[in-house]
């Protein structure tokens, strides 16, 4: 099973300034200005002529750029958001990508730019409000930003650069995709009446499909079709009126 906490930043320093410019909408002048004012992640390659950006750097910049565009957020307040994302690191970003790409769950950023900042799913943030986590007798104001499209931009940037996701993440997404496609293949088969999926530790172990078979189908041929199956024959007045076949697909 995929564990985002064990993934290292193996995609470090893979993006050029032109990639960041395209993803964030910032100009080169803005990138230079933000870096000089401490709003961008600190470069780890000061000795090189051209700066390279990691995947985490790119994510931070597109989030800050969106906050600036949507809410005209001052640079000093953007630093607070930058610091939080940097502290959580690449493992948190990998988890966000997995939630969006693998589970289809929207991710949001909620912050007051001073003390409180949350980056989590819409479900978790809703539960926080329901629990009264933001209750205060003081007047408070928060920004709520849907960062799902920004996470998708990171994935698209990786695809455009022909850079694979970190191996553990890629394998998890690929395995999930193949599993879901196989299940959907059975679900969309109009001849199949029932699909049963048995799972253990979030992994599909068996898929059972049940469908009615033509009474005219020869029984011997039917039994030879699959190694793991149950065939139920229904007779009325001595005549076979229905044959049902349940097949178990071992994983």
| Domain residue extents for the chain | 4-173, 189-250
Question: What is the structure's pLDDT at 84?
Answer: 95
3-state secondary structure of 15: strand
Question: What is the structure's pLDDT at 4?
Answer: 41
Question: What is the structure's pLDDT at 136?
Answer: 80
Q: What is the largest CA-CA distance in the chain?
A: 89
Question: What is the structure's pLDDT at 179?
Answer: 66
Encode the chain (251 residues) as per-residue pLDDT tens digits.
434 443 344 445 578 888 899 889 999 999 999 999 999 887 655 555 667 888 899 999 999 999 999 999 999 999 999 999 999 998 888 888 888 877 788 999 999 999 999 999 998 998 998 888 888 888 889 999 999 999 988 877 776 665 444 555 555 555 555 666 677 777 778 778 888 888 776 667 788 888 766 655 566 677 777 778 888 888 887 777 778 888 887 76
Question: What is the structure's pLDDT at 64?
Answer: 97
Distance CA 164, CA 155 (A): 9
> Is residue 34 within 8 Å of residue 26, measured between CB atoms?
yes
Question: What is the structure's pLDDT at 78?
Answer: 96
């Amino acid at each position: 099973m995929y564990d985002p906490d064990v993934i290292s930043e193996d995609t470090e320093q893979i993006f050029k300034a032109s990639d960041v410019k395209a993803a964030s909408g910032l100009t080169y002048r803005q990138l230079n200005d933000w870096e000089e004012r401490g709003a961008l992640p600190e470069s780890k390659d000061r000795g090189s002529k051209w700066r390279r950006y990691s995947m985490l750097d790119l994510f931070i910049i597109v989030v800050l750029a969106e906050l600036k565009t949507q809410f005209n957020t001052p640079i000093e307040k953007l630093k607070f958001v930058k610091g939080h994302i940097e502290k959580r690191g690449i493992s948190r970003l990998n988890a966000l990508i997995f939630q969006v790409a693998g589970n289809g769950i929207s991710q949001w950023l909620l912050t007051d730019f001073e003390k409180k900042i949350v980056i989590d799913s819409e479900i978790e943030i809703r539960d926080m409000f329901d629990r009264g986590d933001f209750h205060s007798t003081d007047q408070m104001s928060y920004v709520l930003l849907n960062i799902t499209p920004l996470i998708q931009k990171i994935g698209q940037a990786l695809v455009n650069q022909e850079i694979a996701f970190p191996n553990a993440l890629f394998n998890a997404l690929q395995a999930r995709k193949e599993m879901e496609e196989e299940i959907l293949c059975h679900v969309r088969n109009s001849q199949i009446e029932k699909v049963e999926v048995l799972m253990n530790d979030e992994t599909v172990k068996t898929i059972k499909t049940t469908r009615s078979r033509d009474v005219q189908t020869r029984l011997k041929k039917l039994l030879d079709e699959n190694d793991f199956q149950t065939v139920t024959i229904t007779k009325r007045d001595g005549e076979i009126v229905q044959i049902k076949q349940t097949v178990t697909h071992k994983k």
